[in-house]
Amino acid sequence: MSDEEVLLLSPLLYRVLREQDGALSIEVVVGGIMQFEVRVRLNAEETESFQREGRAFSDRLAQAITADPPFGGRSVKVSQG
């Protein structure tokens, strides 16, 4: 986890990370009175959109994930130590 690079940290409570293998993922705080993080690995299309649009794209992606945290089965709840 510590080898990840934080590419973007948003006040909308999400961050975009470059993982050890170079893939991008987004970690989003979801929930209302109980907030926790879920992580979604970006697919090729999303990665390309992020590289092209930057924050505008990641804002939209984060909002889509907060609106539907399972995100079609693609999200993983961030486990804690």
Partner 1 sequence: MNFISRALVLGSLSTLVGCATTKGGTKTPDTTEPTPASLVEHCDDTQKAISKEADAMASPYGIDQHIAKNFPDRRVSWLMTDSAYQKFVVQTGAKNFGRCNDTACYLFAAPSAAIHGAVEKSKTADGKHDPAVLGQALGLPAKNFEGPLRMMTLDLGAQKICTRLPVDADPGVWKCQTPEDTDCFKFGGYTSGGAPEVMVINAPVADTQVAEIP
Contacts with partner 1, residue ranges (CB under 8 A)? 9, 11-13, 15, 27, 29-37, 63, 66-69, 77-81
Nearer to partner 1 among residue 51 and residue 55 (C-beta): 55
Residue 40's nearest CA partner among 63, 70, 10, 67 is 70
Instruction: Give me the least distance between CB of 6 and partner 1, in Å please.
Output: 9
Our CB check for partner 1 shows the closer of 9 and 23 to be: 9
Q: Measured from the CB of residue 66, what is the shortest distance to partner 1 in angstroms?
A: 5
Report the C-alpha gap between 29 and 75 in whole angstroms: 12
For the beta carbon of residue 65, count every other beta carbon within 10 angstroms: 22
Please, which residue, 51 or 54, has the CB nearer to partner 1?
Answer: 54
Query: Cβ contacts of residue 3 below 8 Å, gap of 6+?
Result: 20
CB of 41 to partner 1, least distance (A): 18
CA distance 78 to 56: 24
